[in-house]
């Protein structure tokens, strides 16, 4: 395993990680804020149709905007890795299968990643479980 200390990329065999653990942890926090807002919005729709929560300003949802901007600023490989982490957390793959799940994410991409993940339930929780599974499997070491 090779770690480039300057770019914070991790080399696994022939694969190089494009997302540092710190970046994924930041996305997890943003995703949880977004997930929480979505849950509140769902409850508000059933109880009081006119209410807004503090995460939404006008027509803009700050957590959604920040997540979308972050994802739009990444290359396709980094986005495939993010989707792979989500799938691993959801239980579709094991942590040790990270490289295969990235290949699958690349092959199955049919919509923009931000659109896919922002529409996926429990994005923050699944990303965290996926990241932890990959780290615990020894596949992702960003030390």
124-136 pLDDT, tens digit each: 999 999 999 998 9
**For 45-94, what is each residue's pLDDT tens digit?**
444 444 444 444 445 678 899 999 999 999 999 999 999 999 999 999 99
* Count of CA atoms in the C-beta half-sphere (13 A) of 143: 7
The Cα-based distances of 1 to 10, 69, 133 in angstroms read 7, 31, 18
> Does position 25 have pLDDT exceeding 90, yes or no?
yes
Q: What is the dihedral of CA 77, 78, 84, 90, to 10 degrees?
A: -160
pLDDT of 104 higher than 90: yes
Domain boundaries, the chain: 21-136
Mean pLDDT of 105-124: 94
Q: Which residues pair with 12 in a beta bridge?
A: 15
Locate tokens 């710190």: which residue? 22
């Amino acid at each position: 395993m090779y770690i480039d200390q300057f770019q914070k990329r991790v080399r696994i065999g022939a694969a190089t990680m494009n997302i540092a653990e710190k970046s994924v942890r930041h996305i997890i926090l943003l995703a949880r804020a977004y997930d929480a807002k979505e849950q509140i919005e769902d409850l508000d729709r059933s109880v009081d149709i006119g209410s807004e929560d503090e995460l939404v300003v006008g027509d803009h949802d700050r957590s959604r905007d920040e997540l979308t901007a972050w994802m739009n600023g990444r290359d396709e490989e980094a986005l495939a890795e993010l989707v792979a982490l989500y799938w691993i957390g959801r239980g579709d793959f094991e942590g040790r299968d990270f490289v295969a799940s990235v290949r699958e994410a690349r092959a199955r991409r049919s919509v923009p990643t931000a659109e896919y993940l922002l529409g996926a339930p429990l994005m923050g929780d699944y990303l965290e479980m996926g990241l932890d599974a990959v780290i615990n499997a020894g596949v992702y070491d960003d030390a």
